[in-house]
């Protein structure tokens, strides 16, 4: 089992706290010149996404979390779980709804996602930053209005709903920024 000392703490380090894997978001070292040093740490629970503050006595050790990111190809959803494949080893893995989270509304077959593995099992899935998806339903907009102001909701093939400009129509494909959930552009010949 690997351990980290507080002197190794830095943003991005993955540690175990109370049985859950956490990511260090921010680490502040505080020490009076002649006294006890502390690390004030903000950590994010990788299972729940919640961020909390922790106080460590400097010099304390904490168990390392076996967490790392890997690129995996999304294959299909069997109704309960999402199936992914390592594009190099062809090894397949399944992720549950908890792990896939918000990514579920953006990904479609063959998309390459960042999968965070904890003890070898998917813990979280990040969709590609940009995805191209087809609009399955949106109100017919005002013809000739190209200002893009205001916009209207459009339902995409994955079920996600994004605001699109009025000139964008059902059946068209659009590029979406998954980090903000915002429309980027129309995509032709998708």
Partner 1 sequence: MPPDHLPNDWRPSAELAMIQARADLFARLRAFFAAAGVLEVETPILSQAAVTDPALASLSVGGVGPARSLYLQTSPEFPMKRLLAAGSGPIYQICKVFRDDERGRLHHPEFSLLEWYRPGWDPWRLMDEVAELTRVALQRPTLPVERIAYRELFLQRLHLDPWSATVEDLRGAALAAGIADAASLDLDADAWLDLLLTHCLEAGLGRDGMTFLVDYPPSQAALARIRPGPIPVAERFELYLEGVELANGFQELTDAVEQRARFQADLAQRRRRGQSEPPLDERLLAALAAGMPECSGVALGLDRLLMMATGVDRIDGVLAFPVERA
Q: Give the interface with partner 1 as residue ranges (CB under 8 A).
A: 7, 28-38, 40, 52-59
* Nearer CB in complex with partner 1: 30/161: 30
- We find the least distance from the C-beta atom of residue 88 to partner 1, in angstroms, to be 24
Closest to partner 1 by CB, 39 or 116: 39
Least CB distance to partner 1 at residue 10 (A) = 9
In the sheet that holds 38-45, the strands lie side by side as: 14-17, 20-30, 38-45, 51-57
What's the closest the beta carbon of residue 17 comes to partner 1, in angstroms? 10
The residue among 11 and 87 lying less far from partner 1, judged by its C-beta, is 11
| Alpha carbons 127 and 108: distance in angstroms, whole number | 10
Least Cβ distance, residue 79 to partner 1 (angstroms): 42
Is the separation of the CB atoms in 117 and 67 below 8 Å?
yes
Shortest distance, position 60 Cβ to partner 1, whole Å: 10
User: Which residue's CB is nearer to partner 1, number 7 or number 98?
Assistant: 7
Nearest CB to partner 1, comparing residues 31 and 179: 31
Long-range CB contacts (within 8 A, 24+) of 153-159: 157/108, 157/133, 158/104, 158/105, 158/106, 158/107, 158/108, 158/133, 159/105
Alpha carbon distance 151, 162 (integer Å): 10
């Amino acid at each position: 089992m690997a351990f980290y000392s507080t002197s190794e703490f830095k943003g991005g380090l993955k540690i175990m706290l109370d049985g859950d894997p956490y990511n260090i978001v921010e680490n502040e070292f505080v020490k009076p010149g002649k006294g006890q040093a502390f690390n004030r740490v903000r950590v994010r629970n990788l299972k729940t996404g919640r961020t909390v503050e922790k106080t460590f006595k400097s010099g304390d050790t904490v168990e390392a979390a076996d967490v790392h990111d890997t690129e995996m190809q999304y294959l299909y959803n069997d109704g309960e779980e999402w199936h992914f494949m390592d594009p190099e080893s062809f090894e397949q893995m399944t992720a549950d709804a908890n792990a896939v989270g918000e990514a579920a509304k953006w990904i479609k077959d063959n998309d390459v996602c960042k999968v965070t593995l904890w003890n070898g099992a998917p813990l979280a899935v990040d969709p590609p930053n940009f995805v191209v998806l087809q609009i399955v339903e949106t109100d017919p907009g005002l013809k000739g209005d190209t200002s893009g102001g205001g916009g209207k909701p459009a339902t995409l093939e994955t079920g996600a709903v994004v605001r699109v400009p009025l000139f964008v129509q059902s059946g068209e494909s659009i590029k979406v920024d998954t980090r903000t959930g915002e429309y980027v552009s129309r995509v032709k010949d998708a």
